[in-house]
A and B are shown apart, each in its own frame.
Chain A
Amino acid sequence: MRRIENQAIFSSRNFRAEREEDWQRLEALLKRAEGGSVRRLSDADLVELPVLYRSALSSLSVARETTLDQSLINYLEGLCTRAYFFVYGVRTSLGSRLASFFARDWPAAVRGLWLETLMSFALLLAGIVTAYLLVMNDPAWFDAILPADLANGRDMSASAEDLRSTLYTPDQDALAVFATYLFTHNAQISIFAFALGFAFGVPTALLLVYNGAVAGAFIALFVDRGLGFEMGGWLLIHGTTEFFAIVLAGAAGLRIGTRVVFPGAQSRLAAARESGKTAACAMVGVVVMLLAAGLLEGFGRQLITHDLTRYGIAATMFLLWCAYFYLPGLVRGQR
């Protein structure tokens, strides 16, 4: 009896003693790899790591069936989990990730959102047209749509001369600060509009309509004073980029909202996950576009006061974005 008992202990201890060194070696490699870049591991280490990971996994299987030492099993589970996510969670370098984002992922994500982009654009347009018609019929609507601080003196009582001067004199002395403020403010709002998409897309749709309404009220004001053409250049020089970005942010939000409500053949969770992937990619692009829009509004609009040049820049930017997003799809014969 005593003899068998000793043997049992002996084999269990042997098991651990024989493999302990490998576990410690794997742990040390993981610690170095997780602490910094993979470059800190030599080629030999990189070859060794998956081998050590598999041997640790087999140790875990054996331990679960033969030992009752809970701390040993916990240790091996933790070690194997860390190693698993290192071995199978292969990541690309930041450089190649950025390259593939600009070369493929971003335009592809925008193309994938084409239906939501149209919906989002329709909502924005509905806001513009409604507000324009309302203000044209009854100027009192202007104050109802615009908060006073946004109107900044440009209300229904302003003279045509005052309004004209706002189109051609720089708002601020510090153009760079103004551009940065516009960028961070607009980007924050668009991220917010995107996230609200999760609430079945309803708040996102409302935000789109409201944004359109603000623009529509302003257009009505300037058109009323015979400044429609001049106002168009002032608005569109950055507006083609900015409104495009807002429409895309809205589309990304609507995609998540509609997929959660109408998952189709997929489960709701799977549909949400898939829509989130496309939408997040598009949102990074939206932030980049708003950076461009901020620069155009902060610098371009303040420095360029010639109407046709403004229209020219507006059209060029719009065509560039469209070509960048949709041309690769047309060439390959997809949407």
Chain B
Amino acid sequence: MDQSAVQRTLITPEGVDLRLKLATAGQRAGAFAIDFGLLIFIIIIFTLLVVWAGVADFGSGGDGEVVTIIWLLGYFLLRNFYFIVFEMGRRSATLGKRILGLRVVARDGGRLTADAVIARNLMREIEIYLPLSFLFSSGLETSGAADGILVLTGFLWSLVFLLFPLFNKDRLRIGDIVAGTWVLHAPRRKLEHDLASSGHERLERYDFSEEQLAVYGEYELKTLERVLRSDNNETLAGVANTIRAKIGWEHGDDDYDFLNAYYAALSARLERGMLFGNRRMSKYDE
């Protein structure tokens, strides 16, 4: 994927660009699907509990008044405040967003205020519930062709709100516009082991010449890094054979050892060039 399409600049007060990554429309939709499914599930469980409590209440001679109130309030709070409460938390993300590594932040890099979170989530009323209500009314109440056309027109109109994020490059939905927020893809990453360091130990057994290392640039190094970290034996073998052929390496040694050692030697060479100001972006770069 083209990185510049999703990358945005945020300079911290310390003067470092954090190079934020925006969440894609697919990630946003996925997170919402998880949240919405979860919300419906919670409401169903909640309703079952209330019905169960109501039956118990009637059994003991009550009139079910308290139970009805609990359900009415509970439903109202869940529907309107599920998203708000989670996004006001320290991680600024609902459960669905957490699973996909997303979080809500203010577009100006400042703090995410309670007002902003409330504004962005109240707007779901026209983004989600309005199209849904048109969908359901078309199924239930349509009596004539004129009504059908009216409902269809209304549904198409409401789609403007639902599909809004697809029509701007920052993937802002209406709630984001009104609240001044956007959604980042900032998953928690683990610090992976240092390939150059393990490769350096293996390098004792290898001795690549300057010409053999001059074949590739940074792009190929990054690809090689991904291959090594993916730990897929078939890919490893394929890549190892390609590199062996390219640099004229004729020893039939272990693929991983060979690639790791080559990675260490190549990255040392390129990093050295980098320190002196000559970067080689790819193998086509001179």
Contact A68 B271 (CB under 8 A): yes
**B19 to chain A: which residues have CB within 8 Å?**
77
Instruction: Give CA–CA (A282, B188) in the complex, Å.
Output: 36
Is the contact region of chain A dominated by helix, strand, or loop, or is it mixed? helix
**CB-contacts of A110-135 with B (<8 A):** none
- A-B contact count, CB below 8 Å? 199
Interface residues on B, range: 35 or more
Q: Which of B20, B197, B221 has the most CB of A within 10 A?
A: B197
Give B110's nearest chain A residue, CB to CB: A88
**A187 to chain B: which residues have CB within 8 Å?**
76, 80
Contact A69 B126 (CB under 8 A): no
Contact B272 A97 (CB under 8 A): no
Give B188's nearest chain A residue, CB to CB: A78
Q: Which of A58-66, A207-215, A221-229, A321-329 contacts B (4 or more CB under 8 A)?
A: A58-66
Instruction: Give CA–CA (A67, B190) in the complex, Å.
Output: 18
The answer to whether the Cβ of A84 comes within 8 Å of any Cβ in the partner chain is yes
The answer to whether the Cβ of A154 comes within 8 Å of any Cβ in the partner chain is no
Instruction: Give CA–CA (A285, B177) in the complex, Å.
Output: 22
The answer to whether the Cβ of A20 comes within 8 Å of any Cβ in the partner chain is yes
Give B124's nearest chain A residue, CB to CB: A195
Instruction: Give CA–CA (A165, B16) in the complex, Å.
Output: 73
Residue from A54, A70, A97, A181 in contact with B14 in the complex, judged by beta carbons closer than 8 Å: A54
**CB-contacts of B112-145 with A (<8 A):** 112-116, 118-120, 122-126, 129-130
Q: How far is the CB of A109 from chain B (nearest CB, A)?
A: 9
Q: Which of B26-34, B246-254, B260-268 contacts A (4 or more CB under 8 A)?
A: B260-268
Residue from B110, B114, B124, B161 in contact with A97 in the complex, judged by beta carbons closer than 8 Å: B114
Assuming A195-B122, A196-B126, is B73 touching A180 (CB within 8 A)? Answer: yes
**B113 to chain A: which residues have CB within 8 Å?**
277
Q: Which of B63, B73, B191 has the most CB of A within 10 A?
A: B191
Contact B111 A90 (CB under 8 A): yes
**B123 to chain A: which residues have CB within 8 Å?**
195, 198
Instruction: Give CA–CA (A165, B78) in the complex, Å.
Output: 38
Interface string of A9-22 (1 = CB under 8 A from B): 10011001000100
Give A37's nearest chain B residue, CB to CB: B90
Which residues of B does A touch, CB under 8 Å? Answer: 10, 12-14, 16, 18-20, 63, 65-66, 68-69, 72-73, 75-76, 79-80, 90-92, 103, 105, 107, 109-116, 118-120, 122-126, 129-130, 161, 174, 177-180, 184, 186-192, 194-197, 200, 210, 218, 221-222, 225-226, 229, 264-265, 267-272, 274-275
